[in-house]
Amino acid sequence: MSEPLPPLALPLPSAPLRLAAVQTGAASGDVAANARHAAALTVRAADEGAGVVVLPELHLCAYDLPALAAAPDRYAVRADFGRTVIDPRLDPLAEAAAARAVTVLTGAAVRGADGSLTNSVLAFGPSGPPTVAYDKEHLWHADERALFAAGPPGQRSAALTVGGWRLGLGVCYDMSFPEHGRAAALAGAHVYVCPSAFAAGNEHRADVYLAARALENTVYAVFSNPVGGPAHRPCGGGTAVHGPGGRTVARAATAGEETVLADLDPAGLAEVRGLLHMLEECRTALG
């Protein structure tokens, strides 16, 4: 029998954080246009008090895998060995994040310095160029495996801290694996953030997965999903934020473009963790 994991010292944030989960479409292959639109959405969310803005999976190029396969260098942004991205097409979004002092997380196809192509999350902050914050670990079947290299397993360090809130990162299919969200929580995450591109008619799965990830790990869980997309694979939104007790705290009201605002509350996090001790009492070590 496995020995119990040691109790975790997980400091809680000291102040609330407003998070914006953005449900929007993207133009296939037009990184510059998508960055400009993301910048406008960022400004709007920041003006409503958001400190973090989350956009969907592969938002900067759109989730159109056949088109991406035909022209990967048009769709991708390039990162150096330090995981920094220098691409003038992204300047409007970087400038918006800096001007409004917010953190923006958005999906992108990334050509690494080693030549690999990854399905990644870029982080734009109040200062400096964007960085590659996370590479998707679980690729969706042959469609994605034919294009992308999987991120290394156990990217516990792939987290950001904003206003005392630690954000653990995943992308879409990652949320289907309980161990992925648990690893983020054990590493100290208060929020599990999953930019996604669930095809229309499948959004209910994200509801099940992320409500479970939130409850079993006593974290907030964020689902940012697109609308529109290529005719062969449209997306229908369903963007939502789930609280640490597993209840939905904010949800898109329409299947169109919408920004879902959620106030992450440290008092609520403390209340749930005062009752539910799964992170401390788990007796099964992650493999």
Domains of the chain: 17-281 (3.60.110.10)
The one-letter code for the residue type at 197 is: A
Q: What is the pLDDT of residue 7?
A: 42
Q: What is the pLDDT of residue 280?
A: 87
CA–CA separation, 147 and 120 (whole Å): 13
DSSP string, 87-146: -GGGHHHHHHHHHHT-EEEEEEEEE-TTS-EEEEEEEE-SSS--EEEEE-SS--HHHHHT
**Per residue in 15-35, pLDDT tens?**
999 999 999 999 999 999 999
Q: What is the pLDDT of residue 159?
A: 81
Q: What is the pLDDT of residue 158?
A: 66
- Of all residues in the chain, the percent with pLDDT exceeding 70 is 95
**Per residue in 175-210, pLDDT tens?**
999 999 999 999 999 999 999 999 999 999 999 999
CA–CA separation, 287 and 217 (whole Å): 17
- Stretches where the chain sits below pLDDT 50 are 1-7
**pTM, whole model, 2 decimals?**
0.95
Residue found by looking up tokens 């898109």 in the block:
252
**Per residue in 131-151, pLDDT tens?**
999 999 999 999 999 999 999
> Hey, CA dihedral for 193, 175, 198, 136, is it positive or negative?
positive
Q: What is the pLDDT of residue 10?
A: 66
Arithmetic mean of pLDDT over the chain = 93
* Residue 35 φ then ψ, to 5°: -65, -40
Q: What is the pLDDT of residue 286?
A: 66
Burial class (CB in 10 A: 0-12, 13-18, 19+), 214: buried
Q: Output b/e per residue, 117-137; b: 16+ Cβ within 10 A.
A: bbbbbbbbbeeeebbbbbbbb
Q: What is the pLDDT of residue 3?
A: 44
